[in-house]
Amino acid sequence: MEPWARGLQAGVDEVGIGPLAGPVYAAAVILNPTRSIEGLNDSKVLNKKRRESLCGEIKRVSIAWCIGRASVGEVDQLNVLRASHLAMQRAVDGLSHTPDMVLVDGNKKPPLAYPVMAIVRGDGRVPQISAASILAKVARDAEMVELDEKFPGYGFAQHKGYPTKKHVAALRHLGACDQHRQSFAPVRAVIEAAQLDRLPS
């Protein structure tokens, strides 16, 4: 048995560090040891249909789960790493049960009021973290689809805010919208270029 595999362990993972637009999401999950869930894995290796199916099952059978987010404004104000830690904090604080240990994907420990263990590649190795990665991705993807309707033309529903060629081209053509992260260099460059264009000649 792993040294952390005692008591209630909450798995925590985030999604949305790399995009140029949209919030950062995190989820915290305490699995039920008597209700195994088949097929848990890193959300990035699962297709959309499988993620959504597992998401529903995780919510039904887990002891506790919660999703947290940090807004675009918080990403710009704090920086994206600290914003992701804030989203994790909100997810853990929202759990209906108090965890004895928090297991976080990666190599950085967010500042939480509980013992924390960071596990590199934990989203593919630790079921609790896999479950958290699935909930966070499904929730963030859903919001990006909604943002696609509010801000048409950028393709948010397809690329989810990540810096694809299509997204960068649309950003340059349309300019930045309210959901673009102004602290990120490609967005900042577009905003600064637009400001220069408005200066009197």
CATH code for position 32: 3.30.420.10
For residues 91 and 165, state if they share a domain: no
- The number of folded domains in the chain is 2
Residue 2 in domain = no
The one-digit pLDDT tens for each residue of the chain (201 residues) are 455 556 899 999 999 999 999 999 999 999 999 999 999 999 999 999 999 999 999 999 999 999 999 999 999 999 999 999 999 999 999 999 999 999 999 999 999 999 999 999 999 999 999 999 999 999 999 999 999 999 999 999 999 999 999 999 999 999 999 999 999 999 999 999 887 766 565
Would residue 1 count as lying in a domain? Answer: no
Tell which phi-psi region holds residue 156, choosing left (phi > 0), alpha (psi between -120 and 50) or beta: alpha
Gap between the Cα atoms of 63 and 21, Å rounded: 33
**Are 179 and 110 in the same domain?**
no
Amino acid at 163: P
The Cα 65–Cα 51 span in angstroms is 16
Terminal C-alpha separation, the chain: 71
Residues 169 and 136 in one domain: no
Instruction: Specify whether 178 is located in the same domain as 85.
Output: no
Amino acid identity at 92? V
Residue-number span of the structural domain to which 167 is assigned: 156-198
Rounded Cα distance, 69 and 14, in Å: 9
